[in-house]
Structures are given as structure tokens and as C-alpha cells.
Amino acid sequence: METTTNNRAPHLNLDATSKSEFAAVAKWINFNAIAALVLLGITVLSIIIIFLKLGVFVSQFDPLEAHSTGIMIGVMIRLTASLLLNCLLLAVAVNIKKGLLFTDQAQLSQGVKRLAFYFKLTGLISIIVLILVILGLLALTFLSRYAF
């Protein structure tokens, strides 16, 4: 019954306002992705500068030590995830813009598909972060109760 209702979804045509709103969304998604990529670049640059400035620290830095390795892996995962998400956002903006410019339904569909994938990835990352926070809180509670 529910499937039948979903299949008979009402038809929606994009009027001038919808097209202008879609164009504005694409523009701001583009700005956002570029700003985030610049931020990513500056973060990487500042990490390199910190490592270069604190040469002593680098020589003392033991990558095999569990704590240091954990921090490095955490930073690398964060940077990679950010890079992937923002490249995806750039692709969304490009597809939507092309779709509107050339009245290309396939490009528009691809853009919206990538936007859906972006939200899905962000949602999955939120779930992972939520689980890690809950595990961290549980570990803290456990340690504070039984360690001392």
C-alpha cells in the first residue's frame, strides 16, 4: 500500500523561482566547499609549520608510541574525511550549475544524487562520532569508578 502511494508521487515542475533557488544553493555550496578546502590547506600548512618549528619535538616524536599514533591517525582521518566531503560538495555545485545552464535533466539529477550522498556520508560520520563519544564517556565513568 505504501509503495503504491510512493510511486504515485505528484509531478513537480521547476518554475523560474525554483531554478533561481537551485542556482543560489549551488553557488553557496560552491563557496562553502572552496572555503572549507582553503581551511583544510591552512590546517595542513600549520601542522607542517608546527612540526618544522618544533624540530626537537619531531626528533623526540615516536610514531610507534600508542598515544602519538592515535593522535596522528585521528588527524589524518579527519583531514581525509573533510577533503572527500568538500570534493563531493564541489561536484554537487558543478552538476547543479551545468544542469540549470544547459537545461540538462541528467546533470541536475546527478547533482541532487551527490547531495543526497553528501548528507548520507555526513549522517554516517555523525553516527560514528556519537558512538565514539558514548564509548569515551563510558570508559571515563568506568575508569573513575574502578581505577582508584
Partner 1 sequence: MAMAMCYCCCRFFIDSYISLNMEEDILDDHLLEMDLQVDADVAQHLKYSWKWAKFISVIMFVSCALIVITALLKISLLRLVLSRLTDNYLGLNDVDEWVLWCIFGVSIALLGFTYYLLYRFSKKIKQALQTGDTAQLNAGLRSLKLFFMIATIFAMLLVIKNIISLF
Q: Among residues 88, 104, 113, 119, which one has the least CA distance to residue 19?
A: 104
Question: Is residue 68 within 8 Å of 61, Cβ to Cβ?
Answer: yes
In DSSP notation, 20-56 reads HHHHHHHHHHHHHHHHHHHHHHHHHHHHHHHHHHTHH
* 14 binds partner 1 per the rule CB under 8 A: yes
From 42-50, 56-64, 73-81, 139-147, span contacting partner 1 (CB under 8 A): 42-50
**Contacts for 45 with CB less than 8 Å, ≥ 6 apart:** none
Contacting residue, 68, 80, 109, 141, with partner 1 by CB under 8 A: 109
* 54 binds partner 1 per the rule CB under 8 A: no
Interface with partner 1 (CB under 8 A), residue total 43
* 67 binds partner 1 per the rule CB under 8 A: no
* 53 binds partner 1 per the rule CB under 8 A: no
Contacting residue, 45, 58, 76, 132, with partner 1 by CB under 8 A: 45
* 3 binds partner 1 per the rule CB under 8 A: no
